Amino acid sequence: MNIFIPQSWLKDYIETDVSPVELAKKMSAHAFNVERTNEIKGDIVWEAEITTNRSDALSIMGIARELKSLLPKKDYKFKYKESKAQKTSGKDKLEVEIRDKNLVPRFSAIVLDEVQIKESPEWMRDRLEKVGTRPLNNVIDITNYLMFDLGQPMHAFDYDKIKSGKMILRDSRAGEKVITLDGMERELPQGMIVIEDGEGRLIDLCGIMGAKNSEIDENTKKVLLFVQVYDPMKIRRASMTLGHRTEAATRFEKGIDFEGVLPALWKAVEMSQELAGGKISSDLIDIVNIKPRSKEVEIDYEKINLLAGVEIEKSRADEILESLGFEIKGKKAKVPSWRLNDIDIPEDLAEEVIRIYGYHNLPSKLLAGEIPRLQPEKIFYWEGIAKNFLKHNGFFECYNYSASSCNAGENQLELLNPLTEKIACLRVSLIPQLTEVLDKNKGYAEKIKVFELAAVYLPRQNDIPDQPSRLGIAVKGVEYLELKGIIEAMLYNEMNIAQGAVDFEISKGENGYLTAELDFEKISQLANNDKIYIPISQFNSIKEDLTLVVPENVEYPQIKKAILAVDPRIKSLDFKDIYKNALTLSIEYLDRQKQISSDDTQKIRQNIFANLEKDLGVRLKK
Amino acid sequence: MDQSKFENLAKEFMEDLKKVSSLDDLESLRVKYLGKKGILAGLFGEFAQISPEIKKDFGRKLNQLKNNIESKLSELHSEFFAGTEIGVSQFEKTLPGKKPQIGHLHPIITQAIREIVEIFKPLGFTQVRHPEVDWDYFAFESLNMPKTHPARDEWETFFVKAPENKEYGKLVVSPHTSSGQVREMLKNQLPIRMLNISRCGRRQIDVNHIPFFFQFEGLAIDKNLSIANLRGVLDYFAQKFFGPGRKTRLRPFHFRFTEPSFEVDVSCGLCQGAGCRFCKEGWVEIGGAGMVHPNVLKAGKVDPKIYNGFAFGWGVERTYMMKAGLKIDDMRYLGENNLKFLSQF
């Protein structure tokens, strides 16, 4: 998530001569990308993207702590001082009942009396505005301020509104309702963390937002300051379910520094005393339910060097880790409390060392080593051939979405969360979208040819769908035989597939559209560059055209077969033209033993006519 | 018919030819001799009726005459366009040629991808394609993102209505090419240099996003690979794809499936990294990269004690648009198949 970092605020924690521009560059290169630098009221405010693993840096103090490792010691001073614990005592009690310890690993609170609710001082309102938050009143502002300052979300209740001074922290029950601070009534599902007071009212939707019934208002006298660590998964689920992503929730769900809880509470007390005149009127409540274990991770210096591709001295590595708050213990590093969620394995430490060392300081080397044996799949090559062929035959290549409407074929797999109805089901054929392309481009030209080469998604039992590559073709204003000829030339000439080995069908659609969908997996299996050499005859062939009259119910393959069967000297037979029922063929005669004569061809021709007439009733056109 | 008849006819033709003074005359002459009802057509008509003994000779002579007439006519025709050696008039020369109709390959799914594949080929990266609709396991879980991990939110994943698989979970439209990483490792052929270019899907549609798009992803698994190697490959790509002098830089980032993780920037083509009005900081972000996380290697049955690796990947569309300096104001054009758009590529 992005956070705002006003330089004036950052100066609370650091002292350096390095200019903000330089600092921002270092931030981006070593830690977090400064995406924008804005100027607000004469202050420089960075907007930086904090990666999801670094909840410790979602605060001004966290950023200052990170910057410490980026600048030479002489240039930088980190001025963070934890607020000290104060003496506590008083008559105000809070009875706390926690139904499930896992819900709230740490629970801390304290009551302040004689609080005066008023507007916050200008410097604080100013800072809140710079980080994008609206100031409300001094106490609420303090809780918000400290979330941005220290990264610890906190809440303040009007103590007198908590009936019987009792809090029961538990899982919500399905259907329970709470009106949150924003005035919205929210119906809760089961399993969100909530707090119930002594009279059974819900007074907090934990980690997301407080309840209206216990909010601080201008008459509030006693304030309960409240700092917690919640089960991150619960907070995440709750905020996702409610669709309500608050600054607090995003921090809670990414994990809170367990050791930061009390210092934050004490700082809140300090500020309340200063800005609202409050006085401590209760004991400190600090319930530790689950204490995170301290963690030591092995520092693998060899791995650091291997990953970096350059030698980083051990002393330098240690120095970097220490500057980030790690404690070096022999070959291990003790992880600081604020990084417990993030650092687990030696690679994690390697990343820390190398990024601070500087990725830009690493060399740039191409790969050495063995070349992998994996051979490229044939299909990519043949896709290229087919696409080029179609392009040179006037086709436009299209790019349609993998999903279409749900009425585009049988057995379409449905998307559970589609964006629109138009893309709600995975496609089982490329044709419906291609015909749509023809529709959309009607006015472009008389003759339009389009294709797409892509996968379709065919459901299978208990497996991912079969995803074969298909070649979809759609044309407008093109004759049947022309399209067929293009497809055949591609398959049988360009791709050298045996004549007739691929079954395809051309369908006629509305508006004279013709479409065809071919199994490209099969095509790429059959396609080849194998050549067979037939010695060139020293004798010449004789070519002639014949025009035949074809009766009904006769098919071309029958004619072709009948002719070729007549004589081995018929070298080739090609379809040339058809007009009504007059079929023109061109025939080539060749005798490999001697020069063929017109007498020879005449005899063969006679036999052809005899054969055709006898078997098929086909005659020469007069 | 005897020999002299052919000779006379030839003479007669030569006389006629001399009288020709215009292209119109020439055409009339052509019709007279070679037209459908012309003199030669008549002779060919006789051919069928003559006796077989002289047929052969007759045919040969007739053809000779025909050829002769054709070539003379053609010669004269050329003379009318004098000074033009190839028989083309000065005007004709200025006309555009008659072009065959040529179509267009899609700028992204073919032109950009081809270029990328060719760049990585000499480095030993082989193009592959992995399922576009895949199990949650390959899209997330095997990439070090357990079922409820918040990192998954970053992908606006499409889920498919289908029974869940006990081992592999839900069926999803693969939101990134990284889903191919573990699948590639499970082929059990080390070392790996993979270039996976596949369609992906995410629930996003606006000026900058289309719901189905292409990503390309490089994955190298070998012994002793380093960030320096990743930089080497990225720099090589930047120079070949964007042009000489272009460089990449790595910035720290976080992905669950790599450790360390980076964002990759390429130096701006206008200011070469100095910073200008177009790029602001001198660098433009193109994608993500990182050293493969040991947990991902384990999921791919690769021993992280012996092998390591790096991966990088990003959108083909955006990269191509950045390169070409094409100011396509709306990504959605890429999937709309408007021929007025496609014909520009």
Residue extents of the structural domains in chain A:
2-78, 95-288, 296-360, 378-526, 542-620
- Number of domains making up chain B: 2
Cα–Cα distance between B216 and A73 in angstroms, integer?
42
With a cut of 60, say whether residue B84 has pLDDT above it.
no
- How confident is the model over B8-23, as pLDDT tens digits? 888 888 888 888 887 7
- Nearest neighbour of B133 by CB, restricted to A31, A398, A426: A426
Cα–Cα distance between B60 and B63 in angstroms, integer?
5
Cα–Cα distance between A65 and B219 in angstroms, integer?
35
Are residues B40 and B68 both part of a single domain? yes
CB A584 within 8 A of CB A517: no
Mean pLDDT of the A397-423 span: 95
Which residue's entry shows tokens 């004798």?
A539
| pLDDT recorded at residue A521 | 96
Helix locations, A92-230, DSSP H: 122-130, 138-150
- Nearest neighbour of B103 by CB, restricted to A31, A364, A395: A395
Q: Which residues of A touch B291 (CB under 8 A)?
A: 307, 347
Chain B residue with Cα closest to A26: B251
With a cut of 70, say whether residue B86 has pLDDT above it.
no
B83 to chain A, minimum CA–CA distance in Å? 36
CATH class given for the domain over A378-526: alpha beta
Interface test with A, best of B58, B196, B227 (most A CBs within 10 A): B227
| B71 located within any domain | yes
397-416 of A, contacting B, C-beta below 8 A = 397-403, 413-416
Q: Are strands B126-128 and B192-201 parallel, antiparallel or unpaired?
A: parallel
The encoded tokens of residue A507 equal 């369908």
| B183 located within any domain | yes
35-54 of A, contacting B, C-beta below 8 A = 51-54
> Cβ–Cβ of B132/A402 closer than 8 Å?
yes
| pLDDT recorded at residue B89 | 75
CB B250 within 8 A of CB B263: yes
CATH class given for the domain over A542-620: alpha beta
Chain B residue with Cα closest to A380: B127
> Cβ–Cβ of A308/B160 closer than 8 Å?
no
Cα–Cα distance between A492 and A140 in angstroms, integer?
78
Cα–Cα distance between A400 and B132 in angstroms, integer?
14
- How confident is the model over B214-256, as pLDDT tens digits? 999 999 999 999 999 999 999 999 999 998 888 899 999 999 9
Helix locations, A419-571, DSSP H: 431-440, 480-488, 520-526, 556-564
- How confident is the model over A53-109, as pLDDT tens digits? 999 999 999 999 999 899 887 878 888 888 889 998 889 999 999 999 999 999 999
Options 3.30.360.10, 3.40.50.720, 1.10.1740.10, 3.50.40.10; which CATH number does A95-288 get?
Answer: 3.50.40.10
Cα–Cα distances in Å, from A7 out to A46, A58, A178?
8, 15, 39
B72 contact A CB<8A:
no
Mean pLDDT of the A404-432 span: 95
With a cut of 80, say whether residue A501 has pLDDT above it.
yes
> Cβ–Cβ of B105/A391 closer than 8 Å?
yes
CATH (domain of B335): 3.30.930.10
With a cut of 60, say whether residue A421 has pLDDT above it.
yes
Q: Which residues of B touch A416 (CB under 8 A)?
A: 158-161
Q: Band of the pLDDT at B2, cuts 50, 70, 90? A: low
Are residues B115 and B177 both part of a single domain? yes
Are residues B124 and B86 both part of a single domain? no
Are residues B143 and B281 both part of a single domain? yes
Tell me whether domains A296-360 and A378-526 share a fold: no
A620 to chain B, minimum CA–CA distance in Å? 17
- How confident is the model over A331-360, as pLDDT tens digits? 999 999 999 989 999 999 999 999 999 999
B30 to chain A, minimum CA–CA distance in Å? 25
Sheet with A582-589: list strands edge to edge: A570-579, A582-589, A542-549, A619-620
Computed over every residue of chain B, the mean pLDDT equals 88
Are residues B118 and B8 both part of a single domain? no
The encoded tokens of residue B90 equal 């000065």
Q: Residue B141's domain spans which residues?
A: 107-342
Instruction: State the count of interchain CB pairs (< 8 A) between A and B.
Output: 252
B333 to chain A, minimum CA–CA distance in Å? 10
With a cut of 90, say whether residue A202 has pLDDT above it.
yes
Are residues B115 and B248 both part of a single domain? yes
Phi, psi dihedrals of residue B44, rounded to the nearest 5°: -60, -30
Fold of A296-360: Phenylalanyl-tRNA Synthetase; Chain B, domain 1 (3.30.56)
Residues 6+ apart with CB under 8 A from A274: none
A135 to chain B, minimum CA–CA distance in Å? 30
CB atoms within 10 A of CB A422: 13
Cα–Cα distance between A101 and A290 in angstroms, integer?
7
Percent of chain A at pLDDT exceeding 70: 100
Rg (CA), chain B: 36
Cα–Cα distance between B80 and B69 in angstroms, integer?
17
Are residues B152 and B23 both part of a single domain? no
Q: Band of the pLDDT at B158, cuts 50, 70, 90? A: very high
| B121 located within any domain | yes
With a cut of 80, say whether residue B4 has pLDDT above it.
no
Q: Residue B233 burial (CB < 10 Å; 0-12/13-18/19+)? A: buried
Q: Which residues of B touch A418 (CB under 8 A)?
A: 158
6-35 of A, contacting B, C-beta below 8 A = 28-33
Are residues B334 and B276 both part of a single domain? yes
84-143 of B, contacting A, C-beta below 8 A = 100-106, 108-110, 114, 117, 123-124, 126-129, 131-135
Mean pLDDT of the A365-382 span: 87
> Cβ–Cβ of A399/B343 closer than 8 Å?
no
> Of A439, A404, A440, which Cα lies nearest the Cα of A422?
A404
Rama region for A122: left / alpha / beta (φ>0; ψ in -120 to 50; rest): alpha
Are residues B62 and B126 both part of a single domain? no
The helix-helix angle for B23-34 and B3-19 (nearest 10°) equals: 160
A163 to chain B, minimum CA–CA distance in Å? 36
| pLDDT recorded at residue B87 | 63
> Cβ–Cβ of B101/A360 closer than 8 Å?
no
Chain A residue with Cα closest to B138: A464
- Nearest neighbour of A464 by CB, restricted to B135, B224, B254: B135
> Cβ–Cβ of A394/B103 closer than 8 Å?
yes
Q: Which residues of A touch B282 (CB under 8 A)?
A: none
| pLDDT recorded at residue B3 | 67
Are residues B248 and B139 both part of a single domain? yes
Which residue's entry shows tokens 């090589």?
B236
> Cβ–Cβ of B210/A401 closer than 8 Å?
yes
Interface test with A, best of B158, B209, B216 (most A CBs within 10 A): B158
> Cβ–Cβ of B259/A33 closer than 8 Å?
no
A399 to chain B, minimum CA–CA distance in Å? 5
- Nearest neighbour of A364 by CB, restricted to B201, B228, B334: B228
DSSP A16-45: E-S-HHHHHHHHHHHT-EEEEEEEETTEEE
- Nearest neighbour of A426 by CB, restricted to B108, B129, B160: B160
Cα–Cα distance between A310 and A363 in angstroms, integer?
7
Q: Band of the pLDDT at B309, cuts 50, 70, 90? A: very high
Q: Which residues of B touch A375 (CB under 8 A)?
A: 126
> Cβ–Cβ of B223/A398 closer than 8 Å?
no
> Cβ–Cβ of B132/A457 closer than 8 Å?
yes
Provide the CATH number for the domain formed by A2-78 in this structure.
3.30.56.10
Q: Which residues of B touch A52 (CB under 8 A)?
A: 150-151, 154, 254
205-234 of B, contacting A, C-beta below 8 A = 205, 210-212, 220, 222-229, 231-233
- Nearest neighbour of B106 by CB, restricted to A51, A397, A465: A397
138-197 of B, contacting A, C-beta below 8 A = 148, 150-151, 153-154, 158-163, 165, 171, 173, 187, 189-194
228-287 of B, contacting A, C-beta below 8 A = 228-229, 231-233, 235-236, 249-254, 259-263, 281
| pLDDT recorded at residue A327 | 97
Are residues B54 and B173 both part of a single domain? no
> Of B326, B331, B328, B255, which Cα lies nearest the Cα of B287?
B255
Q: Which residues of B touch A400 (CB under 8 A)?
A: 335, 337
Chain A residue with Cα closest to B201: A402
Cα–Cα distance between B69 and B59 in angstroms, integer?
15
CB B217 within 8 A of CB B316: no
Interface predicted TM-score of the whole assembly (ipTM), two decimals: 0.89
With a cut of 90, say whether residue A485 has pLDDT above it.
yes
Rama region for A211: left / alpha / beta (φ>0; ψ in -120 to 50; rest): beta
A224 to chain B, minimum CA–CA distance in Å? 31
Pick the range with the lowest mean pLDDT from A40-49, A196-205, B150-159. Answer: B150-159
Computed over every residue of chain A, the mean pLDDT equals 94
More confident residue, A582 or B270: A582
| pLDDT recorded at residue A188 | 94
Are residues B115 and B61 both part of a single domain? no
